[in-house]
Amino acid sequence: MKNIGEIKHSLTAVKQTRQITNAMYLLSVSEMKRYMNGVIYIVEYMQRLREIKRDLLKLSHGTSHPFKTSYTSSGRNAYIVISAEKGMCGSYNANIAALAEEKIKSSKEPYIIMKGTIAQTLLAAKGIHPDEKWEYPGNAPSIKYAADMAAKLINLYLSDYIDEVDIIYTKYISQIEQSARCYKILPLSNDVAEEAGKNTVSEIEFLPSEDEVFMSLARHYVTGIVYSAMYQSFVSEQVARMNAMKSATNNADDMIRDLTHKFNSLRQVAITNELTEITSAARCADNTEKR
């Protein structure tokens, strides 16, 4: 059993750790509340955008547009991997890295774009290195940086460099559940669009032309998907860190109670032993005087 000094040292260390985990918990709660409402709007916006995509794909007049089917013959897939810049958020980063490893290793000559240093470190240990690092100031999602990335992806797609674009991110489902997902952005497909619903318009008039409508749709759609993935990943990260830090804080509270109980028990034993020694010494002194 540890002595009183060791227990006191452990108790101090646990209390200091608890202060850190509780501060990170409160910060994550604040960030989560700040961005939570945006998740609802993004989901509704992307549902409407998928419905428009579905209608255009179904009612296009049989033309072969590069965004409808694979435009290139390179056989090369592009993967955007979105993770966190820091850890202490449970299995959030590990789940993204595991899914990315599975998808990337099953692809021929993948073009990899990574956001977040944690996934880069985890995948580097598996021999997977990014072709490009996606970095932007801060960690919060921004439509500007999503639009810049969308433009880059479309240019790569139309320049015969890649023939498919997938984004690997964490989908926010609830405060209890967040799931790592791989979503195909390009080429546009009816299969994915069907998720938005079954109703469709009967006729669409393309102005000024079908090609220009599809080009505009692709830019808005890719930008929306990238921004949605950024946003949901960021909120999922805050929720995962909130849950992890809350659990760590609760564990620290349990350890503090246990260590405090042990400390008080040992201190009581020490005090009792000291009183016993004093009493014994006093009795010995009395006996000596009587003799």
Q: According to CATH, what is the number of the domain 31-243?
A: 3.40.1380.10
| Highest-confidence segment of 69-78, 105-114, 130-139, 191-200 | 105-114
pLDDT of 109 over the 90 cut: no
> In terms of DSSP bridges, do strands 178-186 and 111-115 run parallel, antiparallel, or are they unpaired?
unpaired
Average pLDDT score over residue span 68-89 = 77
Question: What per-residue confidence (pLDDT) applies to 217?
Answer: 79
The predicted model scores a pTM of: 0.80
Question: What per-residue confidence (pLDDT) applies to 32?
Answer: 81
Q: Which of 112-121, 137-146, 202-211 has the lowest mean pLDDT?
A: 202-211
Question: What per-residue confidence (pLDDT) applies to 203?
Answer: 67
Average pLDDT score over residue span 243-258 = 91
| Closest among 237, 113, 227, 223 to 170, alpha carbons compared | 237
The confidence band for 43, taking pLDDT boundaries of 50, 70 and 90, is confident
Question: HSE on the CB side for 198, CA within 13 Å?
Answer: 0
The confidence band for 187, taking pLDDT boundaries of 50, 70 and 90, is confident
The confidence band for 65, taking pLDDT boundaries of 50, 70 and 90, is low
Whether 213 contacts 56, CB under 8 Å: yes
Average pLDDT score over residue span 83-107 = 89
3 state SS of 161: coil
Average pLDDT score over residue span 91-111 = 90
pLDDT of 170 over the 60 cut: yes
Question: What per-residue confidence (pLDDT) applies to 196?
Answer: 41
Average pLDDT score over residue span 20-44 = 85
Q: Six-digit token pair at 45?
A: 């916006």
CA atoms of 251 and 161, how far apart (whole Å): 51
| Closest among 257, 262, 231, 252 to 41, alpha carbons compared | 231
pLDDT of 192 over the 50 cut: no
| Closest among 158, 153, 105, 108 to 132, alpha carbons compared | 153
pLDDT of 70 over the 70 cut: no
pLDDT of 73 over the 80 cut: no
Average pLDDT, the chain: 82
Question: What per-residue confidence (pLDDT) applies to 277?
Answer: 74
